[in-house]
Structure 1
Amino acid sequence: MKKYYYSLFLMLCAYFTMAQTAIVKGRITTKDGKPAEFVNVIIKGTNKGTIANEHGEYELANLKAGNYTVQASFVGLAALQKKVRLENGQTTQVDFVLDEDSQQLKEVVVVSNPSKYVTDYPSISLRLKTPLLELPQNIQVVTKQLLQDQQIFDMLEGVTRNVSGVTRLEHWDNYALLNMRGSQIAAFRNGMNVQMSWGPLAEDMSMIERIEFVKGPAGFMLANGEPAGFYNVVTKKPTGITKGEATMTVGSFGTYRSTLDLDGKLSEDGKLLYRLNLMGQMKGSHRDFEFNNRVSVAPVIKYQFNDKTSLTAEYTYQYNQMSMIGSNYSFSKKGYADLPVNFTTAEANMPTTNINDNTLFLTLAHAINKNWKFTGQVAYMNYKQIGQSMWPSGFSADGDTLYRNMGIWDIDGTNKLGQFFVNGDFTTGRIKHLLLGGIDMGSKNYFHDWSKSQDIGSLAIYKPQYGLVAATSYPKFDRSLSLRERGVNYYQNYTGIYLQDEIHLIENKLRLTLAGRYTTSTDGNPYSGAAKADKFTPRIGLSYSLDKHTTAYGVFDEAFIPQAGADKNGKGFDPITGNNKELGLKREWLGGLWTTTLAAYRITKNNVLTADPSNPNFSIQLGQTQTEGIEFDLRGQIVHGLDLTLNYAYTDAKVTKDTDPKKVGVPVAGSTKNIANAWIAYKATNGAIKGWGLSLGGQYQAGRSSWYVFDGTTQPLKDYFRMDGAVSYQANNFSIALNVNNILNAYLYSGAYYSVGYYYYQTEALRNARLSIGYKF
């Protein structure tokens, strides 16, 4: 180890006197003098690129001296190029004037439907300024265009197929449980950890710009969480371009849905901008008496005080009325897939479950100067659920009759979140640094009442008869006390301080990331008491540009998870500690039109709780799990008009330490060894079939373990294969698309064995379709 640090020291000294790099910047305007936003600017023959801001300005740094061609391009417009000579330590101004005026540019934005399966940079909410290609971490981005092509309505549907190794766990119809690298991953929205014990309500795709899957701990964002990573939902923001889009969808199982996206200016000077997304949906299911009706309203206001400072206020209201939670499961003592795909335990006259979800984000961004920027963000989230759940209280001796039980299922959850951070770049001698430092904090308070339940009658599962239970037979739960008075309280309070320095060496060919985060956290509930923990988690990453389009990287990162509770002697538990060791290779092809990422990793989690062999009612802290895997992702435009998303993951997640030797080697619950996904889309851009598109996709899973493992066995699920497709047509502002899901009409399910002696699982719909029409204006 000493030899390693000595070598690193020599390397830093050797490159301390490197030559300075050059900068090119400029402004892009239309022929009527208005700024041209969203124009792509690249240095041809390199991996350097950016997008013009709302003032038409751009800047590209860290360039070697030499002769280059700077290209400005926009979808639907001819590219402009200028040759330039760059000198070390100098800034060169290169401006462009588009032949189109501002109105023509707006029309190009409205009518274009380009492939946007690839993006070069992470969103601003991830706090990073480095291109994805150069980051020492595997970050996969699912774009808005891909979500639209697949007609995905919300986070509960097929988002996971677009990223290697991600699966959905239990199929609750109100929030998303996603698994990646052997663990459930945290939910982020706009760079803030919004995860609750239950909730918040899964985001509707109508308000989403992109979804970023960050693989590994990413300690600068979330050290007190699972080392597998997290996903970050980025919501739509104002662009300053007046435009709109309306869609209507009809589909199988009585699906009716409409969306409206409005974008524009509220003041003539362009300082006050707005974005408004509206959605209304009525949706049934392949199971009788099951439905999910939703409404969402998402207004965003942005005020640009001046060229340096802006304030963005974003409010989201989501309302969900749905059938009773739990009624979408099938239950059998004989095994999985034992009942028809449309089996349900629900009745037509059962009371509904209603959810109200309110969120407010405020973001203040201030450019201190051209090199330093401050960002502050606060959020308030409230999730209220009033409803019931359905679960069996038992089976008859022959297993043919299920005894249904209805319980109260009320939730009140509140998140108060805040984060403040500074991004900047500076030089020490001749070495450039990209610095990120900040503080983030959260207070999460959650009340849950599931204390009362009542049997409501039996159901012959192989010959069910519905409509025999009167609505008056259902329990009337006492809600005279507020949920905060009658509910069980779970809470978490945390504060994290972090600092990260990305050091650019060898003319930016080599990038060394050194970071650390100190986090304090208090977690608790009435059953196990409070657990206080604090830990410093280091992070070191290295990425090297093998050539202009290829990067190799390695990273070591740590995380920890506080654990409430105590053993039989009253001793509290240490937090789970986890680390990730990862190597990867990234490459851009055909000038960045498509990208590939290959990663290999090992995640170890220590201090996992296991059952006390001397007293099963308590836990002891001897467990360990380890996940090893290989991931491959390909996305982008392979040839003109042909886009492909392809990924594969091998995930070996297993228990490596346990008090019960029989459990050592057992797969981690919810993990899947092999997952392969593909989505290929072709759109004709000329000729007789111009505007027509055809898409086809499939997902294969093998080596699936069940959601939960209660008895120490793997309870494996059978292999899974699903195929979906779409036909579309676009003519100027108008578009129409027909998506068909589960084309092969396969019986698909996932589930688990329950310790009391039966299986529970949830089926997916057989072949079904959605027809959507859209108009941009």
Structure 2
Amino acid sequence: MKIRSVLVVCFTAISLWAFAQQNNASIHGYVTDAEGNLIEGANIVIEGSGRGVSSKSDGYYEIRGLSGGTYQVKTSVVGHKTTSQEVRLGEGDSRLVNFVLEAEVSQLSEVVLSGHKKEKYNVENVSSTLRLNQELIKIPQNIQVITDDVLRDQQIFGMREGVGRNVSGVMVMEHWGNYARINMRGFRIPAFRNGMNFTSQWGPVAEDMAMVERIEIIKGPAGFMLSAGEPAGLYNIVTKTPRATPGREVTLSTGSYGLQRATLDVGGKVDKAGKLLYRFNAMGHTQKTHQEYGFHDKYLLAPSFKYLFNENTTLTAQYTYQYSKVPELGSPYVFSPKGYRDVPRDFSISHPGIDPSVNKEHSAFVTFEHKLDRNWRVTAQLGYLSGAQESSDIWPDAVNENGDIYRRLYIFDGEEEHKLGQVFVNGEVQTGPVSHKILAGLDVGSKDILYDWAESHRIDPEDHPFNIYAPDNSHAVIPELDRSTSLRKRASDAGTIVGQQYTAYYAQDELGFFDDRLRVTLAGRYTNLDESSWSGKTSDGKFTPRAGISFSIDDNTSVYGLYDQAFLPQAGTDRQGNTFDPIEGNNIEGGIKKKWFDGRWNTSFSYFRITKENMLTADPEDPVNNSIQLGEVKSMGGEFDLRGEITSGLDLILNYAYTDVRISKDTDPEVVGKRVSGHARHMSNGWLKYTLQDTGLRGLNVSMGYLYMAKRATWDSVWGIEGAQTLPDYFRLDGALGWSNEKFSVALNINNLLNEYLFSGSSYSDGQFYSQQSEPGRNFRLTLGYRF
């Protein structure tokens, strides 16, 4: 029996070795257009074999595991003519085969500044800032990308406008001030910029789209990016960087509420050799809002440079300055003793004599990339962000049944400084018939955040309250807020200094079997994190595993499964003085992805279940003063996403998500099963654009889009206030009309076509009154663009 086993093992090993020797040839190269621009997402297929790959962000492709022979290799991408070459390989050959694709004449009218490419809603690969050296369809996770073409078509100007309309299950939450609070799968997700975590309690400043190349939404924990955070996922803003192809564009916009906006995007080569590239983005924006006294003024400066030492080594430097001025924080909220929609949607509790809130933010990145050889690459990046906020916050002390309120003005100043660093390597190796895509790296970071909201003054006299049904600001007294001492001293006195330092090590190996049709991902991340805040100090070190599997049914269809973890530190102690363990977030996810019609459009469906364990809940022995770790929350649901060009000239985004988030464990049985705020059970959105082809009106396009939410969970969901009003279903319809050619473009977008009274909100103060934030009624944006 032992001899037979040994023979079987030896025979298997010899067979695998022989198989590897017979399939060790490869084809690799670059895909470019006629002007020499590298093309991402081109499909390179060996005809008759079912084997194929997509070109990466640098235009590079490689097909491995081939035996000797003659192959017909075909390359295609939307907007360019398909081409093919005959390639002869000997055993063990590695043949360089480059492709130069000619543009389709019928598509030339759709050339735009962003990379001089045809507009597209779907992409084949994630950005290099996500570190993954793999096609989207093969990654065992639901990742969605909002392209610059979507942002342009929908005339999205700010981060808060663009995410919830284009990805399944993503909700933009209520907010104080100019930052984006984004929820997904029921929890707030961290804000990344170029692969670096700039999240803070009230930051970073919401990015203006003039600086944004794409928005990447990673659903579920992403151990290759982050473990110390919410298990729902993250979003990554990819900013615009230099390209070798010259590009120059200016846009002018006008619209409702006195909108005046201008953007400039120029770039190209600094020197004749093309070693030094530059890009400069600038934006100026002023606009009132639909609410009385509301406004938003901002501007942006974003220069960047890239130096190409050689074909293997680059250095990129980026700097961005954002300035934003809005009314005092809290002013978007209105209050009523009766319920929602009790006051006109343009109503405000603000006062024109209150100083505005001003945010100033500097951010910088330096990125070094070096290809060690055609299989290995190292990337190192430094990131820095400095933000300052001088502002105030208005909020009512109470809301009486007759509509009287006494408004209180709080100081709300803040500063934050983030210093981040990362270095990682991507590599590919072959061990017999098994391929390996390896990712390993180190992340370090330090965050120093200060806030002061200690000082406050009532602005309405005792005998002259402000009445929401008969507003009168004539009796209000606006105080002078005390900023005579430094913010750091004020924050120190108030105990509102937040600090965080972390170091994380991670490694991931994606093993490919059967010519890479079956892929198994094994990864782990160890994070050591020290954190201090007004709730105390904590220090945690935790290992979080990650395991995934993905199988390609054919070249255009894959199924996957994933298990991943995240954790959230918790400060404080229980009644016995024991420190609390971190919250553990566990995500189990599975799905199917498919590309249709040569990758023109794609679909994905995913099912997920997230469990957050070790959450704090009231101590039954002392519920007022102490907590214990027994709480648990479960989030589960399904998501569907479709995006791309359905047929020539017809682009579509269509999404749906079912999300249910509930308390599954607590010391109080009354709250078990209650829904958690921050999600809608049903969410769907869509955007359909049709561009006329090969007619006298070529370049004319018309679009229509919607956003629908049903059974929204409010902030009072857990409180279970008897008789509290529920939020009505939400439906918004938008439309657009545009035209463009090689030089000029014009776009008219009309949002909220049905002029619906749209809002979010919740009951407040144990159900004594209601708060809400409203959205604008029917409004328009008109943008003219010129490329030169």
Q: TM-score range by the shorter chain?
A: over 0.9
Q: 1:28 Cα deviation (Å)?
A: 6.0
CA distance in structure 1 between the partners assigned to 2:95 and 2:316 by the alignment: 32
CA distance in structure 2 between the partners assigned to 1:572 and 1:420 by the alignment: 33
CA distance in structure 1 between the partners assigned to 2:15 and 2:136 by the alignment: 24
Q: Per the alignment, do residues 173 and 156 of structure 1 end up closer, same or farther by CA in structure 2, a change over 3 Å counting? A: farther
- Secondary structure, counterpart of 1:146 in structure 2: helix
CA distance in structure 2 between the partners assigned to 1:587 and 1:765 by the alignment: 37
Please, which of 775, 778, 781 is the counterpart of residue 770 of structure 1? Answer: 781
- Secondary structure, counterpart of 2:458 in structure 1: strand
Match of 1:451 in 2: 454
Q: Does 1:641 align with 2:645?
A: no
Q: Does 1:280 align with 2:284?
A: yes
Q: Does 1:201 align with 2:205?
A: yes
Query: Residue 29 of structure 2 contacts residue 62 of structure 2 at CA under 8 Å; is this kept in 1?
Result: no
CA distance in structure 1 between the partners assigned to 2:31 and 2:332 by the alignment: 54
Match of 2:409 in 1: 406
2:627 partner amino acid: S
Alignment of 1:541-690 (within 5 A): 541-613=548-620, 614-690=622-698
Query: Residue 332 of structure 1 contacts residue 759 of structure 1 at CA under 8 Å; is this kept in 2?
Result: yes
2:39 partner amino acid: F
Please, which of 702, 711, 714 is the counterpart of residue 706 of structure 1? Answer: 714
Query: Residue 30 of structure 2 contacts residue 55 of structure 2 at CA under 8 Å; is this kept in 1?
Result: no
Match of 2:737 in 1: 727
CA distance in structure 1 between the partners assigned to 2:759 and 2:416 by the alignment: 30
Report which stretch shifted further, 155-164 or 376-385. 155-164
CA distance in structure 2 between the partners assigned to 1:737 and 1:98 by the alignment: 30
Q: 1:134 Cα deviation (Å)?
A: 0.5
Alignment of 1:350-361 (within 5 A): 350-361=354-365
Alignment of 1:438-477 (within 5 A): 438-457=441-460, 458-466=465-473, 468-469=474-475, 473-477=477-481
Please, which of 158, 179, 195 is the counterpart of residue 183 of structure 2? Answer: 179
Q: Per the alignment, do residues 241 and 469 of structure 1 end up closer, same or farther by CA in structure 2, a change over 3 Å counting? A: farther
Match of 1:238 in 2: 242
CA distance in structure 2 between the partners assigned to 1:68 and 1:715 by the alignment: 67
CA distance in structure 1 between the partners assigned to 2:707 and 2:110 by the alignment: 37
CA distance in structure 2 between the partners assigned to 1:173 and 1:68 by the alignment: 59
1:669 partner amino acid: S
Q: Does 1:758 align with 2:769?
A: yes
Q: Does 1:507 align with 2:522?
A: no
Deviation string, structure 1 residues 548-568 (Cα, Å, up to 9, x no partner) = 110010011111110112234
Q: 1:539 Cα deviation (Å)?
A: 0.7
1:337 partner amino acid: R
Report which stretch shifted further, 702-711 or 62-71. 62-71
Match of 2:6 in 1: none
Report which stretch shifted further, 80-89 or 185-194. 80-89
Q: 1:140 Cα deviation (Å)?
A: 0.5
CA distance in structure 1 between the partners assigned to 2:755 and 2:102 by the alignment: 52
Identical-residue share of aligned pairs (%): 45
Match of 2:4 in 1: none
- Secondary structure, counterpart of 2:151 in structure 1: helix
Q: Per the alignment, do residues 588 and 63 of structure 1 end up closer, same or farther by CA in structure 2, a change over 3 Å counting? A: farther
Please, which of 415, 429, 437 is the counterpart of residue 432 of structure 2? Answer: 429
2:62 partner amino acid: L
1:683 partner amino acid: T
Alignment of 1:124-135 (within 5 A): 124-135=128-139
Please, which of 61, 64, 83 is the counterpart of residue 63 of structure 2? Answer: 61
1:287 partner amino acid: Q
- Secondary structure, counterpart of 1:133 in structure 2: helix
Q: Per the alignment, do residues 110 and 138 of structure 1 end up closer, same or farther by CA in structure 2, a change over 3 Å counting? A: closer
Q: Does 1:301 align with 2:310?
A: no
Please, which of 208, 222, 227 is the counterpart of residue 218 of structure 1? Answer: 222
CA distance in structure 1 between the partners assigned to 2:156 and 2:690 by the alignment: 18
Q: 1:88 Cα deviation (Å)?
A: 5.8
- Secondary structure, counterpart of 2:595 in structure 1: strand
1:684 partner amino acid: L
Q: Per the alignment, do residues 716 and 665 of structure 1 end up closer, same or farther by CA in structure 2, a change over 3 Å counting? A: farther
Deviation string, structure 1 residues 656-710 (Cα, Å, up to 9, x no partner) = 0111111111111112111011110101121132111010011111110014546
Q: 1:310 Cα deviation (Å)?
A: 1.2
Q: Per the alignment, do residues 701 and 39 of structure 1 end up closer, same or farther by CA in structure 2, a change over 3 Å counting? A: closer
Q: 1:478 Cα deviation (Å)?
A: 1.4
- Secondary structure, counterpart of 2:43 in structure 1: strand
Q: Per the alignment, do residues 28 and 502 of structure 1 end up closer, same or farther by CA in structure 2, a change over 3 Å counting? A: closer
CA distance in structure 1 between the partners assigned to 2:163 and 2:14 by the alignment: 46
CA distance in structure 1 between the partners assigned to 2:593 and 2:705 by the alignment: 24
Q: 1:228 Cα deviation (Å)?
A: 0.6
Q: 1:29 Cα deviation (Å)?
A: 7.0
Query: Residue 711 of structure 1 contacts residue 755 of structure 1 at CA under 8 Å; is this kept in 2?
Result: no
Q: Per the alignment, do residues 315 and 737 of structure 1 end up closer, same or farther by CA in structure 2, a change over 3 Å counting? A: same
CA distance in structure 1 between the partners assigned to 2:671 and 2:639 by the alignment: 27
Deviation string, structure 1 residues 76-103 (Cα, Å, up to 9, x no partner) = 5544332334566432232345679xxx
Q: 1:773 Cα deviation (Å)?
A: 0.8
Query: Residue 516 of structure 1 contacts residue 537 of structure 1 at CA under 8 Å; is this kept in 2?
Result: yes
Q: Per the alignment, do residues 496 and 139 of structure 1 end up closer, same or farther by CA in structure 2, a change over 3 Å counting? A: same
Alignment of 1:80-91 (within 5 A): 80-85=83-88, 89-91=92-94
Report which stretch shifted further, 595-604 or 74-83. 74-83
Match of 1:5 in 2: none
Q: Per the alignment, do residues 97 and 763 of structure 1 end up closer, same or farther by CA in structure 2, a change over 3 Å counting? A: closer
Q: Per the alignment, do residues 747 and 63 of structure 1 end up closer, same or farther by CA in structure 2, a change over 3 Å counting? A: farther
1:760 partner amino acid: S
- Secondary structure, counterpart of 1:464 in structure 2: coil
Q: 1:596 Cα deviation (Å)?
A: 0.4
CA distance in structure 2 between the partners assigned to 1:68 and 1:41 by the alignment: 18
Deviation string, structure 1 residues 279-335 (Cα, Å, up to 9, x no partner) = 000011110101110011111111111222111111110001111111111101211
Query: Residue 43 of structure 1 contacts residue 68 of structure 1 at CA under 8 Å; is this kept in 2?
Result: no
Q: 1:241 Cα deviation (Å)?
A: 1.0
Report which stretch shifted further, 582-591 or 429-438. 429-438
CA distance in structure 2 between the partners assigned to 1:403 and 1:222 by the alignment: 44
Q: TM-score, normalised by structure 1?
A: 0.93
Query: Residue 272 of structure 1 contacts residue 301 of structure 1 at CA under 8 Å; is this kept in 2?
Result: yes
CA distance in structure 2 between the partners assigned to 1:329 and 1:186 by the alignment: 24
Q: Does 1:420 align with 2:441?
A: no
- Secondary structure, counterpart of 1:668 in structure 2: coil
1:405 partner amino acid: R
1:37 partner amino acid: L
Q: Per the alignment, do residues 578 and 29 of structure 1 end up closer, same or farther by CA in structure 2, a change over 3 Å counting? A: closer
Report which stretch shifted further, 565-574 or 517-526. 565-574
CA distance in structure 2 between the partners assigned to 1:719 and 1:441 by the alignment: 43
CA distance in structure 2 between the partners assigned to 1:47 and 1:456 by the alignment: 71
Query: Residue 218 of structure 2 contacts residue 234 of structure 2 at CA under 8 Å; is this kept in 1?
Result: yes
Query: Residue 310 of structure 1 contacts residue 366 of structure 1 at CA under 8 Å; is this kept in 2?
Result: yes
Query: Residue 709 of structure 1 contacts residue 753 of structure 1 at CA under 8 Å; is this kept in 2?
Result: no
Report which stretch shifted further, 331-340 or 674-683. 331-340
Match of 1:4 in 2: none
Q: 1:573 Cα deviation (Å)?
A: 1.2
CA distance in structure 1 between the partners assigned to 2:684 and 2:533 by the alignment: 39
Query: Residue 247 of structure 1 contacts residue 772 of structure 1 at CA under 8 Å; is this kept in 2?
Result: yes
- Secondary structure, counterpart of 1:481 in structure 2: coil
2:94 partner amino acid: T
Match of 1:744 in 2: 754
Please, which of 276, 282, 291 is the counterpart of residue 295 of structure 2? Answer: 291
CA distance in structure 2 between the partners assigned to 1:621 and 1:142 by the alignment: 39
Query: Residue 545 of structure 2 contacts residue 565 of structure 2 at CA under 8 Å; is this kept in 1?
Result: yes
* Stretches of structure 1 lacking an aligned partner (at least 5 in a row): 1-8
Q: Per the alignment, do residues 502 and 52 of structure 1 end up closer, same or farther by CA in structure 2, a change over 3 Å counting? A: closer
Count of matched residue pairs = 756
* Stretches of structure 2 lacking an aligned partner (at least 5 in a row): 1-8
CA distance in structure 2 between the partners assigned to 1:123 and 1:653 by the alignment: 31
Q: Per the alignment, do residues 583 and 41 of structure 1 end up closer, same or farther by CA in structure 2, a change over 3 Å counting? A: closer
Query: Residue 47 of structure 1 contacts residue 592 of structure 1 at CA under 8 Å; is this kept in 2?
Result: no
